[in-house]
Amino acid sequence: MKKIIIVDDHSLFREGIKLMLESNGFGEVIAEAENGSVFLETLKTHKPDLVIMDIEMPVMNGQEATKKALEIYPDLKILVLTMLNDRENYQEMINAGALGFVLKTSGKKEFEKAIQAVINGENYFSNDLLREIILNMNAHQQSVPVAKNNVSDIHFTAREKEVLAHFCSGLTVSEIAEKLFLSIKTIEAHRSALLRKTSTKNTLNLVLFAIKNKLVEI
Protein backbone atom coordinates (compact mmCIF):
# COMPACT_ATOMS: atom_id res chain seq x y z
CA MET A 1 0.00 0.00 0.00
CA LYS A 2 1.63 3.24 -1.15
CA LYS A 3 1.69 6.14 1.28
CA ILE A 4 0.60 9.47 -0.18
CA ILE A 5 0.63 13.09 1.01
CA ILE A 6 -1.60 15.69 -0.65
CA VAL A 7 -0.49 19.33 -0.62
CA ASP A 8 -3.20 21.73 -1.79
CA ASP A 9 -4.86 24.78 -0.25
CA HIS A 10 -8.32 23.70 -1.37
CA SER A 11 -9.69 21.45 1.33
CA LEU A 12 -12.50 20.09 -0.83
CA PHE A 13 -10.09 19.27 -3.59
CA ARG A 14 -7.90 17.34 -1.16
CA GLU A 15 -10.97 15.45 0.05
CA GLY A 16 -11.97 14.52 -3.47
CA ILE A 17 -8.53 13.38 -4.56
CA LYS A 18 -8.14 11.41 -1.33
CA LEU A 19 -11.41 9.59 -1.95
CA MET A 20 -10.42 8.88 -5.54
CA LEU A 21 -7.02 7.51 -4.60
CA GLU A 22 -8.25 5.34 -1.76
CA SER A 23 -11.34 3.98 -3.49
CA ASN A 24 -9.21 2.95 -6.47
CA GLY A 25 -6.63 1.26 -4.29
CA PHE A 26 -3.83 3.55 -5.38
CA GLY A 27 -2.66 4.01 -1.87
CA GLU A 28 -3.40 5.52 1.46
CA VAL A 29 -3.39 9.25 2.12
CA ILE A 30 -1.29 9.41 5.30
CA ALA A 31 -1.33 13.20 5.54
CA GLU A 32 -2.63 16.40 3.99
CA ALA A 33 -1.17 19.91 3.98
CA GLU A 34 -2.73 23.22 2.98
CA ASN A 35 0.57 24.84 2.07
CA GLY A 36 4.26 24.16 1.54
CA SER A 37 5.25 25.11 5.04
CA VAL A 38 2.80 22.71 6.70
CA PHE A 39 3.98 20.04 4.27
CA LEU A 40 7.63 20.41 5.32
CA GLU A 41 6.55 20.00 8.96
CA THR A 42 4.57 16.91 8.00
CA LEU A 43 7.65 15.33 6.42
CA LYS A 44 9.31 15.16 9.84
CA THR A 45 6.88 12.48 10.96
CA HIS A 46 5.69 10.94 7.69
CA LYS A 47 7.64 9.22 4.91
CA PRO A 48 5.43 9.17 1.80
CA ASP A 49 5.95 7.15 -1.39
CA LEU A 50 4.27 9.92 -3.37
CA VAL A 51 3.52 13.60 -2.90
CA ILE A 52 0.75 15.30 -4.86
CA MET A 53 1.59 18.98 -4.92
CA ASP A 54 -0.27 22.12 -5.97
CA ILE A 55 1.67 25.24 -7.08
CA GLU A 56 -0.35 28.23 -5.96
CA MET A 57 -0.67 28.15 -2.17
CA PRO A 58 -0.51 30.74 0.60
CA VAL A 59 2.49 31.02 2.97
CA MET A 60 4.75 28.77 0.89
CA ASN A 61 4.11 27.82 -2.73
CA GLY A 62 4.77 24.57 -4.54
CA GLN A 63 8.10 25.47 -6.11
CA GLU A 64 9.71 26.43 -2.84
CA ALA A 65 8.22 23.47 -0.99
CA THR A 66 9.42 21.04 -3.67
CA LYS A 67 12.91 22.50 -3.68
CA LYS A 68 13.30 22.44 0.09
CA ALA A 69 11.75 19.01 0.52
CA LEU A 70 14.12 17.47 -2.05
CA GLU A 71 17.14 19.06 -0.36
CA ILE A 72 16.34 17.06 2.76
CA TYR A 73 14.82 13.96 1.13
CA PRO A 74 16.29 13.63 -2.39
CA ASP A 75 14.37 10.43 -3.13
CA LEU A 76 10.98 12.02 -2.63
CA LYS A 77 8.61 11.47 -5.57
CA ILE A 78 6.60 14.57 -6.31
CA LEU A 79 3.75 14.84 -8.78
CA VAL A 80 2.56 18.37 -9.54
CA LEU A 81 -1.20 18.70 -9.87
CA THR A 82 -2.23 22.22 -10.77
CA MET A 83 -4.47 24.36 -12.91
CA LEU A 84 -1.60 26.57 -14.06
CA ASN A 85 -0.73 25.46 -17.56
CA ASP A 86 1.89 27.98 -18.57
CA ARG A 87 5.38 27.00 -19.56
CA GLU A 88 7.11 28.91 -16.82
CA ASN A 89 5.42 27.11 -13.99
CA TYR A 90 6.08 23.83 -15.69
CA GLN A 91 9.78 24.60 -16.06
CA GLU A 92 10.13 25.93 -12.54
CA MET A 93 8.56 22.84 -11.02
CA ILE A 94 10.66 20.49 -13.14
CA ASN A 95 13.77 22.45 -12.17
CA ALA A 96 12.71 22.21 -8.55
CA GLY A 97 12.79 18.43 -9.00
CA ALA A 98 9.19 17.34 -9.54
CA LEU A 99 8.89 14.11 -11.51
CA GLY A 100 5.49 14.68 -13.09
CA PHE A 101 3.14 17.46 -14.04
CA VAL A 102 -0.63 17.04 -14.51
CA LEU A 103 -3.33 19.66 -14.96
CA LYS A 104 -6.52 19.71 -12.91
CA THR A 105 -8.38 19.86 -16.19
CA SER A 106 -6.93 16.46 -17.10
CA GLY A 107 -9.04 13.34 -17.01
CA LYS A 108 -8.93 10.65 -14.35
CA LYS A 109 -7.10 8.23 -16.61
CA GLU A 110 -4.24 10.60 -17.25
CA PHE A 111 -3.99 11.32 -13.55
CA GLU A 112 -3.77 7.61 -12.78
CA LYS A 113 -1.09 7.09 -15.41
CA ALA A 114 0.89 9.96 -13.95
CA ILE A 115 0.65 8.51 -10.44
CA GLN A 116 1.89 5.10 -11.59
CA ALA A 117 4.77 6.66 -13.50
CA VAL A 118 5.91 8.92 -10.69
CA ILE A 119 5.67 6.20 -8.01
CA ASN A 120 7.96 4.12 -10.25
CA GLY A 121 10.38 7.04 -10.40
CA GLU A 122 9.56 7.86 -14.02
CA ASN A 123 8.59 11.18 -15.53
CA TYR A 124 5.09 12.08 -16.63
CA PHE A 125 3.95 15.32 -18.26
CA SER A 126 0.37 16.24 -19.02
CA ASN A 127 -0.46 15.91 -22.70
CA ASP A 128 -2.36 19.17 -22.67
CA LEU A 129 0.69 20.91 -21.35
CA LEU A 130 3.02 19.30 -23.87
CA ARG A 131 0.72 20.41 -26.67
CA GLU A 132 0.72 23.95 -25.30
CA ILE A 133 4.50 23.97 -25.16
CA ILE A 134 4.89 22.59 -28.66
CA LEU A 135 2.45 25.16 -30.02
CA ASN A 136 4.39 27.94 -28.35
CA MET A 137 7.63 26.59 -29.71
CA ASN A 138 6.38 26.93 -33.27
CA ALA A 139 5.08 30.41 -32.64
CA HIS A 140 8.38 31.55 -31.23
CA GLN A 141 10.47 29.34 -33.51
CA GLN A 142 14.17 29.62 -32.79
CA SER A 143 13.72 32.67 -30.59
CA VAL A 144 13.61 30.62 -27.39
CA PRO A 145 17.17 29.46 -26.82
CA VAL A 146 16.36 27.82 -23.45
CA ALA A 147 19.06 29.80 -21.69
CA LYS A 148 17.53 33.27 -21.94
CA ASN A 149 14.18 32.20 -20.60
CA ASN A 150 14.42 33.78 -17.21
CA VAL A 151 12.38 36.95 -17.24
CA SER A 152 14.42 38.51 -14.46
CA ASP A 153 17.55 38.02 -16.57
CA ILE A 154 16.28 40.33 -19.30
CA HIS A 155 17.70 43.81 -19.02
CA PHE A 156 15.60 46.69 -20.28
CA THR A 157 16.96 50.20 -20.58
CA ALA A 158 15.06 53.09 -18.99
CA ARG A 159 13.66 54.18 -22.34
CA GLU A 160 12.59 50.67 -23.20
CA LYS A 161 10.70 50.37 -19.92
CA GLU A 162 9.04 53.71 -20.60
CA VAL A 163 8.01 52.71 -24.11
CA LEU A 164 6.84 49.30 -22.89
CA ALA A 165 4.65 50.93 -20.25
CA HIS A 166 3.02 53.08 -22.91
CA PHE A 167 2.38 50.08 -25.14
CA CYS A 168 0.81 48.36 -22.16
CA SER A 169 -1.53 51.26 -21.63
CA GLY A 170 -2.74 50.82 -25.20
CA LEU A 171 -0.88 53.54 -27.07
CA THR A 172 0.29 53.11 -30.67
CA VAL A 173 3.78 53.88 -31.94
CA SER A 174 2.80 57.31 -33.28
CA GLU A 175 1.00 58.21 -30.05
CA ILE A 176 4.05 57.29 -27.98
CA ALA A 177 6.31 59.27 -30.34
CA GLU A 178 4.12 62.32 -29.93
CA LYS A 179 3.98 61.94 -26.18
CA LEU A 180 7.73 61.62 -25.75
CA PHE A 181 8.58 64.22 -28.42
CA LEU A 182 10.51 61.62 -30.39
CA SER A 183 10.44 60.33 -33.95
CA ILE A 184 8.26 57.40 -34.91
CA LYS A 185 11.40 55.66 -36.11
CA THR A 186 12.90 55.93 -32.64
CA ILE A 187 9.91 54.32 -30.97
CA GLU A 188 9.99 51.62 -33.64
CA ALA A 189 13.62 50.97 -32.81
CA HIS A 190 12.81 50.63 -29.12
CA ARG A 191 9.95 48.30 -29.93
CA SER A 192 12.24 46.14 -32.07
CA ALA A 193 14.63 45.87 -29.13
CA LEU A 194 11.75 44.95 -26.82
CA LEU A 195 10.48 42.30 -29.23
CA ARG A 196 13.97 40.86 -29.57
CA LYS A 197 14.65 40.81 -25.84
CA THR A 198 11.31 39.25 -24.94
CA SER A 199 11.28 36.87 -27.90
CA THR A 200 7.85 38.06 -28.93
CA LYS A 201 6.70 38.60 -32.49
CA ASN A 202 4.42 41.62 -32.23
CA THR A 203 3.27 44.39 -29.91
CA LEU A 204 0.25 42.47 -28.65
CA ASN A 205 2.38 39.54 -27.56
CA LEU A 206 4.93 41.92 -26.07
CA VAL A 207 2.21 43.48 -23.92
CA LEU A 208 0.81 40.07 -22.95
CA PHE A 209 4.35 39.02 -21.99
CA ALA A 210 4.73 42.10 -19.82
CA ILE A 211 1.40 41.53 -18.10
CA LYS A 212 1.99 37.83 -17.51
CA ASN A 213 5.41 38.50 -16.07
CA LYS A 214 4.14 41.42 -14.06
CA LEU A 215 6.58 43.85 -15.64
CA VAL A 216 3.76 46.38 -15.62
CA GLU A 217 0.68 47.13 -13.57
CA ILE A 218 -2.62 47.09 -15.37
Partner DNA sequence: GTAAAAATAAGGGTTTACACTAATAATTTT
Partner DNA sequence: AAAATTATTAGTGTAAACCCTTATTTTTAC
Contact positions vs a second copy (CB under 8 A): 9-13, 15-20, 23, 34, 81, 83, 102, 104-108, 111, 139, 167-170, 172, 202-205, 207-208, 211-212, 218
Restricting to residues 140-159, name those near DNA by CB under 7 A: 155, 157-159
Q: Is 15 in the site for DNA (CB under 7 A)?
A: no
Apex 80 CA angle, 112 and 206, nearest 5: 125
The angle, 0 to 180 degrees and rounded to 10, between the axes of the packed helices 127-140 and 87-96 is 120
Q: Which one, 186 or 205, has the nearer CB to a second copy?
A: 205
CB closer to a second copy, 70 vs 128: 128
The torsion angles phi and psi of 160, rounded to 5 degrees, stand at: -60, -45
The C-alpha angle with vertex 51 and arms to 28 and 43, in degrees rounded to 5, equals 90
Single residue of 60, 133, 195, 208 touching DNA by CB under 7 A:
195
Q: Could you tell me whether strands 3-7 and 124-125 are parallel, antiparallel, or unpaired per DSSP bridges?
A: unpaired
Residues forming contacts to DNA in the complex (CB under 7 A) are 155, 157-160, 172-174, 180, 182-186, 188-192, 195, 201-204
